[in-house]
Chain A
Protein backbone atom coordinates (compact mmCIF):
# COMPACT_ATOMS: atom_id res chain seq x y z
CA UNK A 1 0.00 0.00 0.00
CA UNK A 2 1.32 3.42 -0.85
CA UNK A 3 2.01 5.95 1.86
CA UNK A 4 0.55 8.69 -0.29
CA UNK A 5 -2.81 9.86 0.96
CA UNK A 6 -3.43 11.95 -2.15
CA UNK A 7 -1.80 11.72 -5.55
CA UNK A 8 -2.78 13.54 -8.72
CA UNK A 9 -1.34 13.54 -12.19
CA UNK A 10 -2.21 16.01 -14.94
CA UNK A 11 -5.58 17.04 -13.51
CA UNK A 12 -7.39 19.24 -15.96
CA UNK A 13 -10.79 20.91 -15.58
CA UNK A 14 -12.63 23.39 -17.71
CA UNK A 15 -15.90 25.22 -17.10
CA UNK A 16 -17.22 26.33 -20.47
CA UNK A 17 -14.32 28.06 -22.19
CA UNK A 18 -12.45 28.80 -19.01
CA UNK A 19 -9.66 26.47 -17.96
CA UNK A 20 -9.80 26.24 -14.19
CA UNK A 21 -7.21 23.54 -13.55
CA UNK A 22 -4.40 23.22 -16.04
CA UNK A 23 -2.44 20.07 -15.27
CA UNK A 24 -2.16 19.62 -11.52
CA UNK A 25 0.44 17.15 -10.24
CA UNK A 26 0.80 16.75 -6.53
CA UNK A 27 1.38 14.21 -3.80
CA UNK A 28 0.43 14.38 -0.14
CA UNK A 29 2.11 11.88 2.20
CA UNK A 30 -0.22 10.22 4.71
CA UNK A 31 -0.43 11.84 8.12
CA UNK A 32 0.76 15.26 7.00
CA UNK A 33 -0.86 18.65 6.58
CA UNK A 34 -0.81 19.99 3.05
CA UNK A 35 -1.78 23.57 2.24
CA UNK A 36 -2.92 24.72 -1.15
CA UNK A 37 -2.24 28.42 -1.17
CA UNK A 38 -3.64 30.78 -3.73
CA UNK A 39 -5.79 33.81 -4.43
CA UNK A 40 -9.52 33.68 -5.14
CA UNK A 41 -10.29 32.10 -8.47
CA UNK A 42 -7.00 30.19 -8.65
CA UNK A 43 -8.80 26.83 -8.74
CA UNK A 44 -8.52 25.77 -5.08
CA UNK A 45 -12.16 24.83 -4.54
CA UNK A 46 -12.36 23.06 -7.91
CA UNK A 47 -9.42 20.89 -6.91
CA UNK A 48 -10.98 20.09 -3.54
CA UNK A 49 -14.27 19.27 -5.29
CA UNK A 50 -12.52 16.82 -7.61
CA UNK A 51 -10.57 15.16 -4.80
CA UNK A 52 -13.71 14.83 -2.68
CA UNK A 53 -15.61 13.22 -5.63
CA UNK A 54 -18.07 16.10 -6.09
CA UNK A 55 -17.03 16.80 -9.68
CA UNK A 56 -15.13 14.82 -12.30
CA UNK A 57 -11.91 16.05 -13.88
CA UNK A 58 -11.94 16.48 -17.67
CA UNK A 59 -8.54 14.83 -17.86
CA UNK A 60 -5.86 13.42 -15.58
CA UNK A 61 -6.05 11.15 -12.61
CA UNK A 62 -6.49 11.53 -8.87
CA UNK A 63 -6.03 8.90 -6.20
CA UNK A 64 -7.16 9.30 -2.60
CA UNK A 65 -5.80 6.62 -0.23
CA UNK A 66 -4.96 4.69 -3.38
CA UNK A 67 -8.44 4.75 -4.92
CA UNK A 68 -9.45 6.56 -8.10
CA UNK A 69 -11.82 9.46 -7.34
CA UNK A 70 -13.83 8.80 -10.50
CA UNK A 71 -13.80 5.02 -10.92
CA UNK A 72 -13.83 4.14 -7.21
CA UNK A 73 -15.87 7.09 -6.01
CA UNK A 74 -17.86 5.16 -3.40
CA UNK A 75 -14.72 3.67 -1.84
CA UNK A 76 -13.05 7.08 -1.72
CA UNK A 77 -16.09 8.49 0.10
CA UNK A 78 -15.52 5.98 2.92
CA UNK A 79 -12.11 7.50 3.59
CA UNK A 80 -12.76 11.23 3.40
CA UNK A 81 -14.52 14.02 5.18
CA UNK A 82 -15.15 17.42 3.64
CA UNK A 83 -15.53 20.77 5.37
CA UNK A 84 -16.54 23.02 2.54
CA UNK A 85 -16.02 26.72 2.11
CA UNK A 86 -19.44 27.50 3.55
CA UNK A 87 -20.18 25.96 6.89
CA UNK A 88 -21.97 22.70 6.14
CA UNK A 89 -24.31 22.76 9.09
CA UNK A 90 -28.07 22.58 9.33
CA UNK A 91 -29.32 25.93 10.66
CA UNK A 92 -32.69 24.67 11.79
CA UNK A 93 -31.22 21.87 13.90
CA UNK A 94 -29.36 22.21 17.19
CA UNK A 95 -25.62 21.59 17.43
CA UNK A 96 -26.24 18.23 19.03
CA UNK A 97 -28.85 17.20 16.45
CA UNK A 98 -26.42 18.08 13.66
CA UNK A 99 -23.77 15.84 15.15
CA UNK A 100 -26.19 13.00 15.82
CA UNK A 101 -27.59 13.17 12.30
CA UNK A 102 -24.13 12.83 10.76
CA UNK A 103 -23.28 10.09 13.27
CA UNK A 104 -26.31 8.08 12.19
CA UNK A 105 -25.49 8.66 8.52
CA UNK A 106 -21.96 7.41 9.21
CA UNK A 107 -23.29 4.09 10.38
CA UNK A 108 -23.32 4.64 14.15
CA UNK A 109 -26.25 3.34 16.17
CA UNK A 110 -28.49 5.93 17.84
CA UNK A 111 -26.73 5.35 21.19
CA UNK A 112 -23.25 5.53 19.66
CA UNK A 113 -24.17 8.67 17.76
CA UNK A 114 -25.36 10.34 20.96
CA UNK A 115 -22.16 9.40 22.76
CA UNK A 116 -19.96 10.60 19.90
CA UNK A 117 -21.88 13.89 19.72
CA UNK A 118 -21.32 14.47 23.43
CA UNK A 119 -17.59 13.74 23.06
CA UNK A 120 -17.16 16.13 20.17
CA UNK A 121 -19.23 18.87 21.78
CA UNK A 122 -17.05 18.75 24.85
CA UNK A 123 -13.81 18.53 22.87
CA UNK A 124 -14.76 21.66 20.90
CA UNK A 125 -16.09 23.42 24.01
CA UNK A 126 -19.56 23.58 22.53
CA UNK A 127 -21.35 21.67 25.29
CA UNK A 128 -23.11 24.79 26.68
CA UNK A 129 -24.59 25.39 23.21
CA UNK A 130 -25.52 21.77 22.45
CA UNK A 131 -29.26 22.44 22.53
CA UNK A 132 -29.17 25.76 20.66
CA UNK A 133 -30.20 26.01 17.03
CA UNK A 134 -27.23 26.60 14.79
CA UNK A 135 -28.79 29.67 13.15
CA UNK A 136 -28.10 31.57 16.37
CA UNK A 137 -24.36 30.69 16.24
CA UNK A 138 -21.54 33.12 15.44
CA UNK A 139 -19.25 32.47 12.47
CA UNK A 140 -16.51 31.05 14.69
CA UNK A 141 -18.88 28.69 16.48
CA UNK A 142 -20.36 27.46 13.20
CA UNK A 143 -16.88 26.69 11.90
CA UNK A 144 -16.01 24.84 15.10
CA UNK A 145 -19.18 22.79 14.86
CA UNK A 146 -18.52 22.21 11.18
CA UNK A 147 -15.11 20.79 11.99
CA UNK A 148 -16.56 18.72 14.85
CA UNK A 149 -19.12 17.25 12.44
CA UNK A 150 -16.32 16.41 10.00
CA UNK A 151 -14.60 14.37 12.69
CA UNK A 152 -17.67 12.31 13.60
CA UNK A 153 -16.68 9.31 11.52
CA UNK A 154 -12.87 9.63 11.92
CA UNK A 155 -12.00 9.36 8.26
CA UNK A 156 -8.28 9.15 7.41
CA UNK A 157 -8.33 12.14 5.02
CA UNK A 158 -9.84 15.49 5.87
CA UNK A 159 -10.45 18.28 3.34
CA UNK A 160 -10.76 21.81 4.71
CA UNK A 161 -11.66 24.41 2.11
CA UNK A 162 -10.66 27.82 3.46
CA UNK A 163 -11.39 26.84 7.05
CA UNK A 164 -10.70 30.22 8.63
CA UNK A 165 -11.96 32.65 6.00
CA UNK A 166 -14.07 35.37 7.64
CA UNK A 167 -13.08 34.35 11.18
CA UNK A 168 -11.71 36.75 13.77
CA UNK A 169 -8.12 36.31 14.97
CA UNK A 170 -8.99 34.45 18.15
CA UNK A 171 -11.31 31.95 16.43
CA UNK A 172 -8.66 31.47 13.77
CA UNK A 173 -5.97 30.63 16.31
CA UNK A 174 -8.28 28.22 18.15
CA UNK A 175 -9.03 26.46 14.89
CA UNK A 176 -5.34 26.26 14.04
CA UNK A 177 -4.66 24.53 17.35
CA UNK A 178 -7.43 22.05 16.65
CA UNK A 179 -6.07 21.30 13.20
CA UNK A 180 -2.56 20.74 14.58
CA UNK A 181 -3.98 18.40 17.22
CA UNK A 182 -5.73 16.43 14.51
CA UNK A 183 -2.43 15.81 12.82
CA UNK A 184 -1.23 14.11 16.01
CA UNK A 185 -3.93 11.47 15.50
CA UNK A 186 -2.54 10.56 12.10
CA UNK A 187 -5.20 12.25 10.00
CA UNK A 188 -4.05 13.58 6.64
CA UNK A 189 -5.26 17.15 6.19
CA UNK A 190 -5.60 18.88 2.85
CA UNK A 191 -6.46 22.52 3.37
CA UNK A 192 -6.84 25.48 1.08
CA UNK A 193 -6.17 29.01 2.17
CA UNK A 194 -5.49 32.47 0.88
CA UNK A 195 -3.57 33.37 4.01
CA UNK A 196 0.18 32.93 3.82
CA UNK A 197 0.51 32.90 7.57
CA UNK A 198 -1.99 30.08 7.84
CA UNK A 199 -0.12 27.92 5.35
CA UNK A 200 3.17 28.63 7.10
CA UNK A 201 1.80 27.91 10.59
CA UNK A 202 -0.01 24.69 9.77
CA UNK A 203 1.38 22.95 6.76
CA UNK A 204 4.21 20.47 6.37
CA UNK A 205 4.17 21.20 2.68
CA UNK A 206 2.71 24.07 0.69
CA UNK A 207 1.77 24.28 -2.97
CA UNK A 208 1.12 27.68 -4.47
CA UNK A 209 -1.63 27.65 -7.07
CA UNK A 210 -2.17 30.45 -9.53
CA UNK A 211 -4.30 30.46 -12.65
CA UNK A 212 -4.97 26.72 -12.39
CA UNK A 213 -1.31 25.70 -12.17
CA UNK A 214 0.94 24.79 -9.27
CA UNK A 215 3.63 27.45 -9.55
CA UNK A 216 5.72 26.23 -6.64
CA UNK A 217 5.67 23.52 -4.00
CA UNK A 218 7.72 22.61 -0.97
CA UNK A 219 8.11 23.43 2.69
CA UNK A 220 7.77 27.06 3.75
CA UNK A 221 11.56 27.30 4.06
CA UNK A 222 12.15 25.77 0.63
CA UNK A 223 9.75 28.22 -0.94
CA UNK A 224 11.50 31.10 0.77
CA UNK A 225 14.87 29.83 -0.40
CA UNK A 226 13.63 29.95 -3.98
CA UNK A 227 13.66 33.71 -4.08
CA UNK A 228 17.15 34.16 -2.71
CA UNK A 229 18.89 34.13 0.60
CA UNK A 230 17.70 37.16 2.48
CA UNK A 231 16.20 40.63 2.36
CA UNK A 232 18.07 43.72 3.42
CA UNK A 233 15.63 46.09 4.99
CA UNK A 234 16.01 49.77 5.79
CA UNK A 235 13.66 51.31 8.34
CA UNK A 236 13.27 54.97 9.16
CA UNK A 237 12.95 56.53 12.63
CA UNK A 238 9.25 55.64 12.71
CA UNK A 239 10.14 51.99 12.04
CA UNK A 240 8.55 52.12 8.58
CA UNK A 241 10.25 50.07 5.87
CA UNK A 242 11.73 52.50 3.35
CA UNK A 243 13.73 50.06 1.30
CA UNK A 244 13.73 46.29 0.88
CA UNK A 245 16.48 44.74 -1.24
CA UNK A 246 17.17 41.04 -1.93
CA UNK A 247 20.66 39.94 -0.96
CA UNK A 248 22.72 36.79 -0.83
CA UNK A 249 23.50 37.69 2.77
CA UNK A 250 27.26 37.73 2.10
CA UNK A 251 29.41 40.57 3.44
CA UNK A 252 30.48 41.72 -0.03
CA UNK A 253 26.98 41.82 -1.38
CA UNK A 254 25.67 43.78 1.59
CA UNK A 255 28.55 46.24 1.42
CA UNK A 256 27.86 46.82 -2.28
CA UNK A 257 24.19 47.47 -1.66
CA UNK A 258 24.97 49.89 1.15
CA UNK A 259 27.55 51.69 -1.01
CA UNK A 260 25.06 51.97 -3.84
CA UNK A 261 22.41 53.64 -1.71
CA UNK A 262 24.77 55.76 0.36
CA UNK A 263 23.55 59.36 0.47
CA UNK A 264 19.95 58.44 -0.35
CA UNK A 265 19.28 57.34 3.19
CA UNK A 266 17.77 59.72 5.79
CA UNK A 267 19.38 60.07 9.21
CA UNK A 268 18.50 57.57 11.97
CA UNK A 269 17.88 54.80 9.42
CA UNK A 270 18.25 51.32 10.82
CA UNK A 271 19.50 48.35 8.83
CA UNK A 272 18.21 44.82 9.25
CA UNK A 273 18.56 41.52 7.47
CA UNK A 274 15.67 39.11 7.45
CA UNK A 275 14.76 35.92 5.65
CA UNK A 276 12.07 36.43 3.00
CA UNK A 277 8.49 36.17 4.27
CA UNK A 278 5.81 34.10 2.58
CA UNK A 279 4.49 37.42 1.32
CA UNK A 280 7.69 37.97 -0.64
CA UNK A 281 7.44 34.44 -2.01
CA UNK A 282 3.83 34.84 -2.94
CA UNK A 283 4.37 38.13 -4.69
CA UNK A 284 7.38 36.78 -6.54
CA UNK A 285 5.55 33.65 -7.65
CA UNK A 286 2.31 35.21 -8.76
CA UNK A 287 3.54 38.62 -9.90
CA UNK A 288 2.77 39.81 -13.39
CA UNK A 289 -0.28 37.63 -13.78
CA UNK A 290 -2.25 39.07 -10.92
CA UNK A 291 -1.51 42.62 -10.00
CA UNK A 292 -4.62 42.92 -7.95
CA UNK A 293 -3.68 40.05 -5.70
CA UNK A 294 -0.19 41.40 -5.39
CA UNK A 295 -1.59 44.57 -3.91
CA UNK A 296 -3.76 42.59 -1.53
CA UNK A 297 -0.99 40.40 -0.25
CA UNK A 298 1.38 43.33 0.01
CA UNK A 299 -0.98 45.26 2.22
Chain B
Protein backbone atom coordinates (compact mmCIF):
# COMPACT_ATOMS: atom_id res chain seq x y z
CA UNK B 1 0.00 0.00 0.00
CA UNK B 2 1.66 3.13 -1.22
CA UNK B 3 -0.92 5.77 -0.38
CA UNK B 4 0.15 8.25 2.26
CA UNK B 5 -1.58 9.95 5.09
CA UNK B 6 -2.19 13.69 5.04
CA UNK B 7 0.83 15.52 6.37
CA UNK B 8 -1.23 18.33 7.80
CA UNK B 9 -4.66 18.44 9.26
CA UNK B 10 -7.25 21.12 9.34
CA UNK B 11 -7.22 24.78 10.24
CA UNK B 12 -9.32 25.73 13.25
CA UNK B 13 -12.45 27.80 12.77
CA UNK B 14 -10.72 30.85 14.24
CA UNK B 15 -7.66 30.54 11.98
CA UNK B 16 -9.88 29.99 8.93
CA UNK B 17 -11.80 33.18 9.61
CA UNK B 18 -8.66 35.14 10.42
CA UNK B 19 -7.08 34.04 7.12
CA UNK B 20 -10.16 34.99 5.11
CA UNK B 21 -10.54 38.35 6.86
CA UNK B 22 -6.86 39.07 6.23
CA UNK B 23 -7.30 38.14 2.60
CA UNK B 24 -10.31 40.43 2.11
CA UNK B 25 -8.63 43.35 3.89
CA UNK B 26 -5.62 42.91 1.63
CA UNK B 27 -7.85 42.81 -1.44
CA UNK B 28 -9.59 46.00 -0.25
CA UNK B 29 -6.28 47.80 0.09
CA UNK B 30 -5.12 46.63 -3.35
CA UNK B 31 -8.31 47.56 -5.10
CA UNK B 32 -7.21 51.18 -5.03
CA UNK B 33 -9.82 52.51 -7.47
CA UNK B 34 -12.73 51.15 -5.42
CA UNK B 35 -11.18 52.44 -2.21
CA UNK B 36 -10.69 55.95 -3.58
CA UNK B 37 -14.21 55.99 -5.03
CA UNK B 38 -15.71 54.83 -1.72
CA UNK B 39 -14.17 57.83 0.01
CA UNK B 40 -14.21 60.46 -2.75
CA UNK B 41 -17.81 60.03 -3.84
CA UNK B 42 -19.43 60.83 -0.47
CA UNK B 43 -17.01 63.72 0.06
CA UNK B 44 -17.89 65.17 -3.36
CA UNK B 45 -21.60 64.68 -2.67
CA UNK B 46 -21.28 66.44 0.65
CA UNK B 47 -19.50 69.39 -0.91
CA UNK B 48 -22.11 69.45 -3.67
CA UNK B 49 -25.05 69.41 -1.27
CA UNK B 50 -23.47 71.87 1.14
CA UNK B 51 -22.18 74.48 -1.27
CA UNK B 52 -24.29 74.05 -4.43
CA UNK B 53 -27.76 72.94 -3.28
CA UNK B 54 -27.45 73.91 0.36
CA UNK B 55 -28.13 77.62 -0.10
CA UNK B 56 -31.34 76.98 -2.04
CA UNK B 57 -32.54 74.16 0.24
CA UNK B 58 -31.94 76.02 3.48
CA UNK B 59 -31.14 79.74 3.09
CA UNK B 60 -30.33 79.89 6.82
CA UNK B 61 -27.05 78.12 6.09
CA UNK B 62 -27.54 75.19 8.50
CA UNK B 63 -28.15 72.66 5.77
CA UNK B 64 -24.79 70.99 6.46
CA UNK B 65 -26.07 69.92 9.90
CA UNK B 66 -29.15 68.45 8.26
CA UNK B 67 -27.42 66.65 5.40
CA UNK B 68 -24.37 65.06 7.05
CA UNK B 69 -26.21 62.03 8.53
CA UNK B 70 -27.68 61.36 5.07
CA UNK B 71 -24.27 61.61 3.43
CA UNK B 72 -22.84 59.20 6.01
CA UNK B 73 -25.48 56.65 5.08
CA UNK B 74 -25.03 57.24 1.37
CA UNK B 75 -21.31 56.68 1.86
CA UNK B 76 -21.93 53.51 3.88
CA UNK B 77 -24.38 52.19 1.31
CA UNK B 78 -22.07 52.91 -1.59
CA UNK B 79 -19.06 51.48 0.24
CA UNK B 80 -20.85 48.24 1.13
CA UNK B 81 -22.12 47.78 -2.42
CA UNK B 82 -18.66 46.69 -3.58
CA UNK B 83 -19.16 43.60 -1.37
CA UNK B 84 -21.62 42.33 -4.01
CA UNK B 85 -18.91 42.55 -6.66
CA UNK B 86 -16.20 41.04 -4.42
CA UNK B 87 -18.40 38.11 -3.43
CA UNK B 88 -19.60 37.51 -6.98
CA UNK B 89 -16.03 37.62 -8.31
CA UNK B 90 -15.00 34.93 -5.85
CA UNK B 91 -18.04 32.79 -6.57
CA UNK B 92 -17.44 32.83 -10.32
CA UNK B 93 -13.73 32.12 -10.03
CA UNK B 94 -12.08 28.68 -9.72
CA UNK B 95 -10.71 29.52 -6.29
CA UNK B 96 -14.07 28.92 -4.60
CA UNK B 97 -13.94 25.24 -5.62
CA UNK B 98 -10.56 24.92 -3.97
CA UNK B 99 -11.87 26.43 -0.72
CA UNK B 100 -14.95 24.23 -0.80
CA UNK B 101 -12.94 21.04 -1.23
CA UNK B 102 -10.67 21.84 1.72
CA UNK B 103 -11.63 20.59 5.18
CA UNK B 104 -12.56 24.08 6.41
CA UNK B 105 -15.73 26.15 6.84
CA UNK B 106 -15.58 27.69 3.40
CA UNK B 107 -18.33 30.22 4.19
CA UNK B 108 -15.43 32.07 5.82
CA UNK B 109 -14.77 33.56 2.35
CA UNK B 110 -18.00 35.51 2.71
CA UNK B 111 -17.40 36.34 6.38
CA UNK B 112 -14.03 37.77 5.34
CA UNK B 113 -15.64 40.09 2.80
CA UNK B 114 -18.25 41.22 5.34
CA UNK B 115 -15.70 42.05 8.03
CA UNK B 116 -13.45 43.82 5.50
CA UNK B 117 -16.41 45.89 4.29
CA UNK B 118 -17.30 46.87 7.85
CA UNK B 119 -13.72 47.96 8.55
CA UNK B 120 -13.37 49.79 5.23
CA UNK B 121 -16.63 51.65 5.64
CA UNK B 122 -16.12 52.67 9.24
CA UNK B 123 -12.83 54.16 8.09
CA UNK B 124 -14.51 55.95 5.16
CA UNK B 125 -17.22 57.21 7.54
CA UNK B 126 -14.55 58.67 9.83
CA UNK B 127 -13.03 60.52 6.88
CA UNK B 128 -16.44 61.80 5.77
CA UNK B 129 -17.19 63.06 9.30
CA UNK B 130 -13.76 64.71 9.38
CA UNK B 131 -14.45 66.57 6.13
CA UNK B 132 -17.94 67.45 7.39
CA UNK B 133 -16.43 69.10 10.46
CA UNK B 134 -14.14 71.09 8.17
CA UNK B 135 -17.03 72.44 6.09
CA UNK B 136 -19.02 73.57 9.13
CA UNK B 137 -20.82 70.51 10.56
CA UNK B 138 -21.39 71.32 14.24
CA UNK B 139 -22.76 68.27 16.07
CA UNK B 140 -24.03 68.76 19.62
CA UNK B 141 -23.56 65.15 20.72
CA UNK B 142 -21.72 64.12 23.87
CA UNK B 143 -19.53 61.00 24.07
CA UNK B 144 -22.50 58.68 24.69
CA UNK B 145 -24.34 60.22 21.72
CA UNK B 146 -21.32 59.69 19.47
CA UNK B 147 -20.91 56.10 20.60
CA UNK B 148 -24.59 55.39 20.03
CA UNK B 149 -24.44 57.05 16.60
CA UNK B 150 -21.36 55.01 15.63
CA UNK B 151 -23.18 51.89 16.83
CA UNK B 152 -26.18 52.63 14.61
CA UNK B 153 -23.90 53.43 11.65
CA UNK B 154 -21.99 50.16 12.19
CA UNK B 155 -25.24 48.20 12.37
CA UNK B 156 -26.44 49.85 9.17
CA UNK B 157 -23.15 49.08 7.37
CA UNK B 158 -23.30 45.47 8.55
CA UNK B 159 -26.90 45.12 7.39
CA UNK B 160 -26.27 46.56 3.95
CA UNK B 161 -23.02 44.62 3.57
CA UNK B 162 -24.83 41.34 4.28
CA UNK B 163 -27.58 42.29 1.86
CA UNK B 164 -24.99 43.06 -0.82
CA UNK B 165 -23.17 39.79 -0.02
CA UNK B 166 -26.45 37.93 -0.64
CA UNK B 167 -26.90 39.83 -3.91
CA UNK B 168 -23.34 38.90 -4.89
CA UNK B 169 -24.11 35.26 -4.14
CA UNK B 170 -27.24 35.04 -6.26
CA UNK B 171 -26.11 37.09 -9.25
CA UNK B 172 -24.49 35.27 -12.12
CA UNK B 173 -21.58 37.62 -12.70
CA UNK B 174 -19.74 40.49 -11.01
CA UNK B 175 -21.24 43.02 -13.42
CA UNK B 176 -24.78 41.77 -12.76
CA UNK B 177 -24.04 42.01 -9.02
CA UNK B 178 -22.91 45.58 -9.50
CA UNK B 179 -26.12 46.37 -11.41
CA UNK B 180 -28.48 44.92 -8.79
CA UNK B 181 -26.53 46.64 -6.05
CA UNK B 182 -26.81 49.96 -7.79
CA UNK B 183 -30.62 49.87 -7.62
CA UNK B 184 -30.47 49.72 -3.82
CA UNK B 185 -28.36 52.87 -3.72
CA UNK B 186 -31.35 54.96 -4.73
CA UNK B 187 -33.07 54.28 -1.44
CA UNK B 188 -31.33 57.12 0.44
CA UNK B 189 -32.66 59.65 -2.09
CA UNK B 190 -36.23 58.54 -1.33
CA UNK B 191 -35.79 59.17 2.37
CA UNK B 192 -35.35 62.05 4.76
CA UNK B 193 -31.62 62.11 3.93
CA UNK B 194 -31.65 65.30 1.86
CA UNK B 195 -35.01 66.93 2.49
CA UNK B 196 -37.67 66.37 5.19
CA UNK B 197 -40.28 63.90 3.96
CA UNK B 198 -43.16 66.35 4.54
CA UNK B 199 -41.92 68.35 1.53
CA UNK B 200 -42.67 65.38 -0.74
CA UNK B 201 -45.96 64.53 -2.51
CA UNK B 202 -48.24 62.51 -0.20
CA UNK B 203 -47.83 59.19 -2.05
CA UNK B 204 -44.04 59.50 -2.04
CA UNK B 205 -44.05 60.56 1.58
CA UNK B 206 -45.75 57.25 2.40
CA UNK B 207 -42.87 55.41 0.73
CA UNK B 208 -40.17 57.63 2.25
CA UNK B 209 -41.52 57.40 5.80
CA UNK B 210 -41.85 53.66 5.74
CA UNK B 211 -38.58 52.53 4.25
CA UNK B 212 -35.60 51.50 6.40
CA UNK B 213 -33.31 54.43 5.57
CA UNK B 214 -35.51 57.19 7.05
CA UNK B 215 -35.63 55.90 10.66
CA UNK B 216 -31.88 55.17 10.54
CA UNK B 217 -31.15 58.70 9.36
CA UNK B 218 -33.53 60.25 11.88
CA UNK B 219 -31.79 58.29 14.64
CA UNK B 220 -28.29 59.31 13.62
CA UNK B 221 -29.39 62.91 13.10
CA UNK B 222 -31.05 62.98 16.51
CA UNK B 223 -28.03 61.45 18.24
CA UNK B 224 -25.56 63.83 16.60
CA UNK B 225 -27.47 67.11 16.34
CA UNK B 226 -30.17 66.78 18.99
CA UNK B 227 -33.27 66.70 16.75
CA UNK B 228 -36.15 64.60 18.07
CA UNK B 229 -35.73 60.86 17.57
CA UNK B 230 -39.13 59.65 18.75
CA UNK B 231 -39.43 55.92 18.17
CA UNK B 232 -37.17 56.04 15.08
CA UNK B 233 -34.37 54.30 16.98
CA UNK B 234 -36.43 51.18 17.65
CA UNK B 235 -37.82 51.12 14.15
CA UNK B 236 -34.30 51.52 12.74
CA UNK B 237 -32.91 48.66 14.85
CA UNK B 238 -35.90 46.47 13.98
CA UNK B 239 -35.47 47.13 10.26
CA UNK B 240 -31.74 46.39 10.42
CA UNK B 241 -32.18 43.23 12.50
CA UNK B 242 -34.90 41.98 10.15
CA UNK B 243 -32.92 42.67 6.97
CA UNK B 244 -29.78 41.23 8.56
CA UNK B 245 -31.55 37.99 9.39
CA UNK B 246 -33.07 37.62 5.93
CA UNK B 247 -29.74 38.46 4.25
CA UNK B 248 -27.82 36.01 6.44
CA UNK B 249 -30.21 33.12 5.79
CA UNK B 250 -30.34 33.97 2.09
CA UNK B 251 -26.52 34.13 1.88
CA UNK B 252 -25.89 30.85 3.67
CA UNK B 253 -28.52 29.02 1.64
CA UNK B 254 -27.34 30.27 -1.73
CA UNK B 255 -23.71 29.68 -0.79
CA UNK B 256 -24.40 26.00 -0.23
CA UNK B 257 -26.74 25.69 -3.18
CA UNK B 258 -24.15 27.07 -5.57
CA UNK B 259 -21.50 24.45 -4.80
CA UNK B 260 -19.97 23.08 -7.98
CA UNK B 261 -21.83 25.55 -10.18
CA UNK B 262 -20.19 28.55 -11.67
State the A residues within 8 Å of B (CB): 1, 3, 5, 30-31, 49, 52-55, 65, 74, 77-90, 92-93, 97, 101-102, 104-108, 133, 149-150, 153-157, 185-188
B100 touches A (CB below 8 Å)? yes
State the B residues within 8 Å of A (CB): 1-12, 15-16, 19, 23, 26-27, 30-31, 93-104, 259-261
Are the C-beta atoms of B3 and A105 separated by less than 8 Å? no
List chain A residues, Cβ under 8 A from B16.
Answer: 105
Given contacts A92-B26, A101-B19, contact A87 B11 (CB under 8 A): no
Q: 20 A-B residue contacts at CB 8 Å?
A: A1-B1, A49-B260, A53-B100, A54-B97, A78-B6, A83-B98, A85-B94, A86-B93, A87-B94, A105-B16, A106-B8, A107-B12, A133-B30, A149-B98, A153-B8, A154-B7, A154-B8, A156-B4, A156-B6, A188-B3
Are the C-beta atoms of A74 and B103 separated by less than 8 Å? yes
Are the C-beta atoms of B11 and A106 separated by less than 8 Å? yes
Nearest residue (CB) in B for A187 is B4
Are the C-beta atoms of A104 and B19 separated by less than 8 Å? yes
List chain B residues, Cβ under 8 A from A89.
Answer: 94-95
Are the C-beta atoms of A107 and B94 separated by less than 8 Å? no
Are the C-beta atoms of B95 and A88 separated by less than 8 Å? yes
Are the C-beta atoms of A82 and B2 separated by less than 8 Å? no
Output the least CB separation between A98 and chain B (Å): 9
Given contacts A82-B97, A89-B95, contact A65 B11 (CB under 8 A): no
Output the least CB separation between B111 and chain A (Å): 13
Please report the C-alpha to C-alpha distance between residue A172 and residue B55 in the assembled complex, in whole angstroms.
68
Nearest residue (CB) in B for A108 is B8
Are the C-beta atoms of A81 and B101 separated by less than 8 Å? yes
Nearest residue (CB) in B for A52 is B101
Output the least CB separation between A89 and chain B (Å): 7
Are the C-beta atoms of B7 and A185 separated by less than 8 Å? no
Are the C-beta atoms of B3 and A88 separated by less than 8 Å? no
Nearest residue (CB) in B for A100 is B19
List chain B residues, Cβ under 8 A from A81.
Answer: 101
Are the C-beta atoms of A107 and B98 separated by less than 8 Å? no
List chain A residues, Cβ under 8 A from B23.
Answer: 90, 93, 101
Output the least CB separation between B12 and chain A (Å): 8
Nearest residue (CB) in B for A83 is B98
Given contacts A78-B6, A154-B7, contact A106 B102 (CB under 8 A): yes
List chain B residues, Cβ under 8 A from A52.
Answer: 97, 101
Nearest residue (CB) in B for A153 is B8
Please report the C-alpha to C-alpha distance between residue A69 and residue B100 in the assembled complex, in whole angstroms.
13
Given A53-B100, A82-B97, A88-B96, output 12 extra A-B contacts at Cβ < 8 Å.
A3-B1, A49-B97, A52-B101, A54-B97, A54-B101, A79-B6, A84-B97, A88-B97, A89-B95, A106-B8, A106-B11, A153-B8
Given contacts A55-B259, A107-B11, contact A155 B6 (CB under 8 A): yes
Output the least CB separation between B35 and chain A (Å): 13
List chain A residues, Cβ under 8 A from B4.
Answer: 154, 156, 185-187
Partner of A55, one of B6, B93, B260: B260
Are the C-beta atoms of B98 and A88 separated by less than 8 Å? yes
The 6 closest A-B pairs by CB, nearest first: A54-B260, A31-B2, A86-B94, A55-B260, A30-B3, A88-B94
Given contacts A84-B94, A89-B95, A93-B23, contact A77 B103 (CB under 8 A): yes
List chain B residues, Cβ under 8 A from A77.
Answer: 101-103
List chain B residues, Cβ under 8 A from A97.
Answer: 26
Are the C-beta atoms of A156 and B5 separated by less than 8 Å? yes
Output the least CB separation between A64 and chain B (Å): 11
List chain A residues, Cβ under 8 A from B7.
Answer: 153-154
Please report the C-alpha to C-alpha distance between residue A89 and residue B259 in the assembled complex, in whole angstroms.
18
